[in-house]
Structure 1
Amino acid sequence: MSASQPITLAIIGVGIGGINLAIAIPKHNPDLQLTLLESRTEFSEIGAGVGTLFDTSRSLEPQNSHRAGFGPNAT
């Protein structure tokens, strides 16, 4: 089989699920190219009311999503 073009995957919505998916996918398939699409142009409080149970929050820790730009200096 000849070399094929790389596969590009679009992740639509970069909320808690989208950002964790974008962090996890390269760990399992580093050859995929990711395109992240988000309709919002700036951070806002909309969506900030998302809550998770302790076990759910703990399951996200291996992804290090808390270091993916959600800190006070995020741009």
Structure 2
Amino acid sequence: MKKFKLTKELKEQIITDIQNYFHDERDEEIGNLSAELLLQFMIEKVGPAIYNQAIRDAHSLVTKKIEDLYGLEK
């Protein structure tokens, strides 16, 4: 599988979001490096499951649309 890569801007925004989450929800401060390492861990561990579910969802949708198309046959 191709390695997942975020744009610099998106990565920076997610790191900020992680820091804000820790501050708001856990009353903890974490630095950029800690937030970046957490993001990388989540991409590696959770990313494949999310990707696979998206593939299953897309397959299901395409299959339904193809079945709908066959319904138009005369």
TM-score range, shorter chain: under 0.3
TM-score (norm 1): 0.24
Task: Report which structure shows greater RCO (CA 8 Å, sep ≥6).
Answer: 1
Q: Report the structure, 1 or 2, having the larger helix content.
A: 2
Q: Report the structure, 1 or 2, having the larger strand content.
A: 1
TM-score (norm 2): 0.24
